[in-house]
């Protein structure tokens, strides 16, 4: 068997793999990208983009409930065409996928190996009847949804994940969402708003990845108005007339299908990593040291969902580019993570920035918390939007911003603002010195910043304290 020598092998043509290729190609032409397809990245095919297109339809039809209050008549005549929602979602998705594939065209014919490679004991890769000997390898094989053993065998096509849901031709009448993390919460609420009877199951005390207990209670209240949420482990069994029965300790329901959103597992088990002495942990991932992308003593670089970082697109792109950069130069690869930022596009939106709640709890009295509500804020009332709240976490002695949790309309924008501030090392006084236009959600953020500053050990000059007070027409503000 002929052996092809490579400077870098890149396994996977998703976000991380394509990012790695862009960096490798700047330095060498002796590389190959291995991927049997389908192409187009997980984000474009089944995650970020199609889910947000689906959500947009759901949020827009839900908006009709506010039309009378806005003086817009005829809302009763609007209806949901579930088949068309799914068709339009697929149309947008396919366009995005085609764009990614088109971007591969300059190098696809010469540098893409459309086969899944397997490591051999001598460190070579075998793919499509050819042996490759890479000096360095970037592994960016992505992940797949977790489905409990036996569920697909028992229930067949009635088991859906984010990989299959957009392939439906019509919306089901009844769905059980198993797992209410970000994916389950987004898709569950979207289905409910599109007229599906939705029951969500999650034994965790937190849903949507929102740890702050005060905001968690608000979130559950908001979601419970649209779908049933059961804090229990679901046990699916065969039901009547083709339905699936879902049992838990206190009850049973019947649904048409299961939407399984129980997390994802890395696609590493079939690579033959054990043949080259690489062990995987119980979660199926390599045991990388914090801040490292390659395994110690090797030129194996792990990026994207198979790496150590959060399974988020911007993290995958960062890891891929760094992996490609260092792999092409035969160097160890480290990474300085960006300020943590997570957003869930349900309504109200969820955003978590900076240090998470569980870390801050360990610091006890060293952390102060400032809170403000959006319920009666001017912008919220004008938009006829859902309420919510923002919680600001800061260091007590210095008033330096540490993190925040937000449950609010358009929380994504406040979250980015706070992420920038945390990365810059800003304190509450500095943030309060910035203007807040009226009427905007930033006015509510300023109240939370002010509440946290008042609990800190930092003295605020009287003139600055006066300037940071709410204006007389700031709706929902506590006026003296």
Percent of the chain whose predicted confidence (pLDDT) is above 90: 89
Residue 272: count of CB within 10 angstroms of its CB: 16
What is the overall mean pLDDT for the chain?
Answer: 94
pLDDT above 70 for 473: no
Number of H helices, E strands in the chain: 15, 22
Return the CATH number of 3-144+265-328, one of 2.40.10.170, 3.50.50.60, 3.40.50.1580, 1.10.3720.10: 3.50.50.60
- Confidence bin at 480 (pLDDT 50/70/90): very low
Residue recorded with tokens 């930022």: 341
The C-alpha angle with vertex 207 and arms to 146 and 178, in degrees rounded to 5, equals 35
Question: If you average pLDDT over residues 77-104, what whole number do you get?
Answer: 97
pLDDT digits (tens, 9 = 90+) for 455-472: 999 998 887 778 878 877
pLDDT digits (tens, 9 = 90+) for 233-269: 999 999 999 999 999 999 999 999 999 999 999 999 9
Determine the pLDDT at residue 155.
Answer: 97
pLDDT digits (tens, 9 = 90+) for 178-231: 999 999 999 999 999 999 999 999 999 999 999 999 999 999 999 999 999 999
CATH class of 151-260: alpha beta
Residue 124: count of CB within 10 angstroms of its CB: 20
Helix, coil or strand: residue 93: helix
pLDDT digits (tens, 9 = 90+) for 375-410: 999 999 999 998 999 999 999 999 999 999 999 999
From the list 162, 151, 137, 200, the residue with the least C-alpha distance to 45 is 162
pLDDT digits (tens, 9 = 90+) for 275-317: 999 999 988 899 898 889 999 999 999 999 999 889 999 999 9
- Confidence bin at 167 (pLDDT 50/70/90): very high
The CA distance from 44 to 51, in Å, is: 9
Determine the pLDDT at residue 469.
Answer: 81
Q: What is the pTM of this model?
A: 0.94
The CA distance from 4 to 115, in Å, is: 15
Length of the chain counted residue by residue: 480
pLDDT above 60 for 478: no
pLDDT digits (tens, 9 = 90+) for 6-54: 999 999 999 999 999 999 999 999 999 999 999 999 999 999 999 999 9
The C-alpha angle with vertex 345 and arms to 246 and 181, in degrees rounded to 5, equals 35
Residue 238: exposure state from Cβ atoms within 10 A (0-12, 13-18, ≥19):
exposed
Determine the pLDDT at residue 110.
Answer: 97
User: CA separation (Å) from 111 to 19, 102, 153, 302?
Assistant: 15, 15, 38, 20
The CA distance from 184 to 166, in Å, is: 14
Sequence ranges of the chain with CATH classification 3.50.50.60: 3-144+265-328, 151-260
Sequence ranges of the chain with CATH classification 3.30.390.30: 341-467
Determine the pLDDT at residue 294.
Answer: 95
Question: If you average pLDDT over residues 131-147, what whole number do you get?
Answer: 97
User: CA separation (Å) from 308 to 76, 235, 274, 296, 337?
Assistant: 49, 31, 19, 14, 11
Residue recorded with tokens 């040291």: 289
Determine the pLDDT at residue 474.
Answer: 63
CATH architecture of the domain formed by 341-467: 2-Layer Sandwich (3.30)
């Amino acid at each position: 068997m002929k052996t092809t020598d490579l400077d870098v092998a890149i396994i996977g043509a998703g976000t991380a793999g394509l990012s790695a290729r862009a960096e490798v190609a700047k330095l060498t032409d002796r590389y190959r990208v291995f991927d049997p397809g389908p192409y187009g990245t997980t984000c474009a095919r089944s995650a970020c983009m199609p889910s947000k297109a689906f959500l947009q339809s759901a949020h827009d039809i839900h908006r009709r409930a506010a039309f009378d209050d806005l003086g817009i008549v005829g809302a009763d005549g609007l209806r949901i065409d579930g088949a068309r929602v799914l068709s339009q979602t697929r149309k947008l998705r396919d366009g995005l996928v085609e764009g990614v594939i088109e971007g591969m065209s300059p190098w696809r014919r010469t540098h893409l190996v459309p086969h899944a490679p397997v490591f051999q004991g001598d460190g070579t890769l075998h793919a499509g009847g050819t042996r490759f000997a890479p000096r360095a390898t970037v592994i960016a094989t992505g992940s797949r949804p977790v489905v409990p053993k036996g569920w697909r065998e028992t229930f067949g096509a009635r088991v859906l994940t984010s990989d299959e849901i957009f392939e439906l031709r019509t919306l089901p009448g009844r769905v059980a969402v198993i797992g209410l993390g970000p994916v389950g919460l987004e898709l569950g609420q979207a289905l409910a708003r599109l007229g599906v009877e939705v029951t969500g199951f999650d034994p965790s005390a937190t849903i949507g990845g929102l740890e702050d207990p005060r905001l968690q209670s608000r979130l559950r209240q908001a979601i419970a108005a649209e779908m049933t949420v059961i804090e229990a482990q679901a046990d699916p069994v065969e039901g009547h007339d083709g339905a699936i029965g879902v049992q838990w300790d206190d009850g049973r329901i019947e649904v048409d299908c299961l939407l399984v959103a129980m997390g994802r597992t890395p696609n590493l088990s079939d690579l033959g990593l054990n043949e080259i002495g690489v062990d995987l942990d119980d979660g199926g991932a390599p045991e990388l040291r914090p801040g490292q992308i390659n395994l110690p003593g090797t030129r194996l670089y792990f990026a994207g969902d198979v790496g150590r970082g959060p399974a988020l697109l911007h993290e995958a792109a960062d890891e891929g580019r760094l992996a490609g950069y260092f792999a092409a130069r035969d160097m160890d690869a480290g990474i300085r993570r960006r300020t943590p930022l997570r957003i869930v596009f349900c309504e109200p939106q969820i955003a978590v920035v900076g240090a998470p709640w569980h870390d801050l709890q360990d610091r006890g009295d060293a952390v102060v918390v400032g809170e403000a509500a959006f319920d009666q804020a001017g912008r919220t009332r004008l938009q006829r939007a859902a309420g919510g709240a923002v919680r600001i976490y800061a260091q007590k002695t210095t008033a330096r911003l540490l993190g925040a949790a937000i449950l609010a309309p358009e929380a994504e924008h406040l979250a980015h603002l706070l992420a920038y501030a945390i990365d810059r090392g800003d304190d509450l006084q500095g943030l309060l010195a910035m203007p807040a236009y009226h009427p905007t959600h930033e006015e509510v953020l300023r109240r939370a910043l002010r509440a946290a500053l008042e609990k800190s050990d930092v003295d605020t000059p009287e003139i600055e304290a006066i300037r940071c007070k709410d204006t007389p027409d700031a709706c929902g503000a506590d006026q003296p």
